[in-house]
Amino acid sequence: MSVLIYILVMAGSTYLIRMIPFTLFRKKIRSRFFRSVLYYIPYAVLSAMTFPAIFYSTENVITSVIGCVVAVVLAYLNQPLIVVALSASAAALLAGLVF
Partner 1 sequence: MKLNFTKGMKDGIPIALGYLSVSFGFGILAASLGLTVLQAVGISASNLTSAGQVAGVGIIAAGGTLIEMVLTQLVINIRYSLMAISLSQKLDDSFTTPHRMAVAFGITDEIFAVASAQKGKITPRYMYGLIAVSAVGWTLGTFLGASAGQILPEALNDAMGIVLYGMFVAIVIPPARAHKGVLAVAAVAVGCSVLFYYVFTAVSSGFAIIICAVIAAVVGAILFPVEDEEEEEGGGQP
Number of residues that bind partner 1 (CB under 8 A): 73
By CB under 8 A, residue 49 contacts partner 1? yes
Return d(Cα 55, Cα 65) in angstroms, integer.
Answer: 6
Question: Is residue 82 at the binding interface for partner 1, with CB under 8 A as the rule?
Answer: yes
CB of 12 to partner 1, least distance (A): 8
Q: Does 61 bind partner 1 (CB under 8 A)?
A: no
Q: Is 81 among the residues that bind partner 1 (CB under 8 A)?
A: yes
Q: Is 52 in the site for partner 1 (CB under 8 A)?
A: yes
Asked whether the beta carbons of 99 and 63 are under 8 A apart, the reply is yes
Q: Does 98 interact with partner 1 (rule: CB under 8 A)?
A: no
In total, the chain counts a number of residues equal to 99
C-alpha radius of gyration, the chain, whole number: 19
Q: Of 2-41, which residues contact partner 1 (CB under 8 A)?
A: 3, 5-7, 9-11, 13-15, 17-23, 25-26, 28-29, 32-41
DSSP string, 15-63: HHHHHHHHHH--S----HHHHHHHHHHHHHHHHHHHTTGGGGSSS-HHH
